[in-house]
Amino acid sequence: MRILVIGAGAREHALARLLVREPGVDLVLAAPGNAGIARDVDTRPVDAANPDAVLALADEARIDLTVIGPEAPLAAGVADLFRARGRRLVGPTRAAARLETSKAFAKDFMARHGVPTARYHVARDADEALRVVRAGALGEAVVVKADGLAAGKGVVVAEDRAGAETAIRTAMIDRAFGGAGETVVVEERLTGPEVSFFVLAAGSSYVVLPGAQDHKRIFDDDRGPNTGGMGAFAPSPLVDAALGARIVREIVDPVLAGMAAEGTPFTGFLYCGLMLTAEGPKVIEFNARFGDPEAQVVLPLIDEPLAPLLWAAAAGELTSGACRVSPDRQVGVVLASRGYPGHVETGHPIGGLDRVAQECPDVQVFHAGVADRGGRLVTAGGRVLTVVGRGADFQTAIARAYDAVSRISFEGMQFRRDIGRKAVVGSQSPEPRA
Ligand code: AMP
Ligand code: GLY
């Protein structure tokens, strides 16, 4: 089988490295990939958000199966074009990807299908949004979400009415997110620990993957601004068999059945961002793709070949159930550039990767914002590497990840020192906010 992985981050690196080592996989091509991914598999430059360019590459490289990592190619309709041409691809159509690309769509869809989520109001202009906040029916502290894709910056968890009003003006009057903020969702603020729950879906059939927990804030103890994710661990100790079954029954089943019933069946990785509230699990957001850095800790726990699962999903022939999962624990620490999640400096040489490869057998390093300069890897983005430690328990996995981190260095390297601690302490109270 010849497989094309679309994307350029550590998530795609994990996918590519796992797939290229599997029996029956003849070729893995990553596009555009990055200089770190290029050490494991071939890479090709392509504009991943240009469906014709991606299709041309798949044709030229005689690709059997294409897997999409990030949301931009989904929003651009790469899956629609591939499906129209009868090509096998893992990833939802543009219509099905609206679960991620339009928060208003996702909320109204959940209301139609009885999926538990925060109470909300969709507002199409600033006056309407401000009226909703002032009326107070959703509570004093509300969450304001730009409807469209806003690079992770479109959500404001407001402490009070004034904060919510500022967020509404930023999105709808100052148009800080362009068209993505023309509509906003105002919703009730929930409390509880957050978990990420993943299924690989093909219409109404799906395979349940291990749950994970992300660390979205930049600083230790969940302080500071939100990021794309500073680390993750899996499996989440909060998701036991009973809770997993409840999430499937109350969320996954009605969502996938509802998408199929509405004529937009979902194929691909469905990421359910959940808050475990006193009333049970509720949906915070959907993503129409795997999480990053969650993929780096979840995918290596799948104890069966991934390629046949992906092939079956793309063919719509998935048999529902759980996949075989390793009993191990995985903890992934993201190493980021100085300034992230704001403006970052790049071009700094990355040292220590050879030492990690030689001295840390239970560690994998996945590459994101890296470039090649004369045969040497240098930093080229905000999130640079995900360093994943594996062990029989979380303490061991954490120690192995941080032992490897201590051998890696680049100018301005920043990372959190508490990744995975929640899994050990086991006390996961509502997250403090900075
Ligand atoms: P999102 O961009 O949708 O992932 O939201 C970013 C973060 O905002 C989430 O990870 C939550 O921590 C927080 N958040 C979103 N919606 C709510 C809500 N209704 N109540 C409390 N926190 C929320
Ligand atoms: N780690 C969060 C995301 O992938 O959206």
What is the whole-number distance in angstroms between the Cα of residue 257 and the centre of ligand 2? 24
Alpha helices in 299-429 (DSSP H): 306-315, 353-359, 394-405, 421-425
For residue 125, the tally of other CB atoms under 10 A from its CB is 14
Q: In angstroms, what is the C-alpha Rg of the chain?
A: 21
Interval between CA 28 and ligand 2 midpoint (Å):
24
| Consecutive H or E run containing 99 | helix 98-101
- Report the C-alpha gap between 155 and 200 in whole angstroms: 26
Residues in contact with ligand 2 (CB, 6 Å cut-off): 214, 229, 287, 291-292, 294
127 alpha carbon – ligand 2 mean position (Å): 31
- The pTM of this model reads 0.95
381, 369 in Cβ contact below 8 A?
A: yes
Which pLDDT belongs to residue 140? 87
pLDDT digits (tens, 9 = 90+) for 64-119: 999 999 999 999 999 999 999 999 999 999 999 999 999 999 999 999 999 999 99
Residue 91 and residue 12 in contact, taking contact as beta carbons nearer than 8 Å: no
Predicted confidence at residue 321, as pLDDT, reads: 84
Closest C-alpha to ligand 1, atom 6: 155
Closest ligand 2 atom, CA of 293?
1
Under DSSP, the state recorded for 248 is I
Summarize the confidence of residues 315-341 as an average pLDDT.
94
Contact 113, 286 (CB under 8 A): no
Q: What are phi and psi of 366, to 5 degrees?
A: -110, 140
Asked if residue 427 has pLDDT above 70, the reply is no
Q: Which of 176, 166, 172 is nearest to 127 (CA)?
A: 172
| Nearest listed ligand to the Cα of residue 296 | 2
Pocket of ligand 1 (CB under 6 A): 118, 143, 152, 155, 157, 187, 189-190, 194, 216, 226, 273, 284-285
Let me know: does 178 contact 165? Beta carbons within 8 Å.
no
- Give Cβ neighbours of residue 168 (< 8 Å, ≥ 6 apart): 123, 126, 129, 130, 133, 144, 184, 186
Residue with the nearest Cα to atom 4 of ligand 2? 291
- Ligand 1 geometric centre to CA of 205 (Å): 28
**Ligand 1, atom nearest to 152 Cα:** 2
Question: What is the predicted pLDDT for the residue at 428?
Answer: 54
User: Quick check: 433 pLDDT over 50?
Assistant: no
Are residues 39 and 66 in contact, defined by beta-carbon separation less than 8 angstroms?
no
> Residue 322 pLDDT more than 90?
no
Report whether 5 contacts 46 (CB < 8 A). no
The amino acid at residue 193 is P
CA 226 / ligand 2 centre spacing (Å): 11
- The residue contributing the CA closest to ligand 2 atom 5 is 291
Do residues 337 and 344 make contact, with C-beta atoms less than 8 angstroms apart?
A: yes
pLDDT digits (tens, 9 = 90+) for 379-399: 999 999 999 999 999 999 999
Query: Which ligand lies nearest to the CA atom of residue 229 in the structure?
Result: 2
CB 314 within 8 A of CB 65: yes
Query: Which numbered atom of ligand 1 lies nearest the CA of 189?
Result: 20
- Determine the distance separating the centroid of ligand 1 and the alpha carbon of 285, expressed in angstroms: 7
- Confidence band of 431 (pLDDT split at 50, 70, 90): very low
Q: Among 322, 291, 215, which residue's Cα sits nearest to residue 15?
A: 291
Q: How far is the CA of 184 from the centre of ligand 1 (A)?
A: 14
38: buried, middle or exposed (CB in 10 Å: 19+, 13-18, 0-12)? middle
The 10s digit of each residue's pLDDT in 276-305 is 999 999 999 999 999 999 999 999 999 999
Of 103, 155, 215, 283, the one to substitute when testing ligand 1's pocket (max ligand atoms within 8 A of C-beta) is 155
Contact 253, 302 (CB under 8 A): no
The ligand minimizing its distance to the Cα of 217 is 1
| Phi then psi dihedrals of residue 235, to 5 deg | -75, 160
Distance 158 CA to ligand 2 centre (A): 21
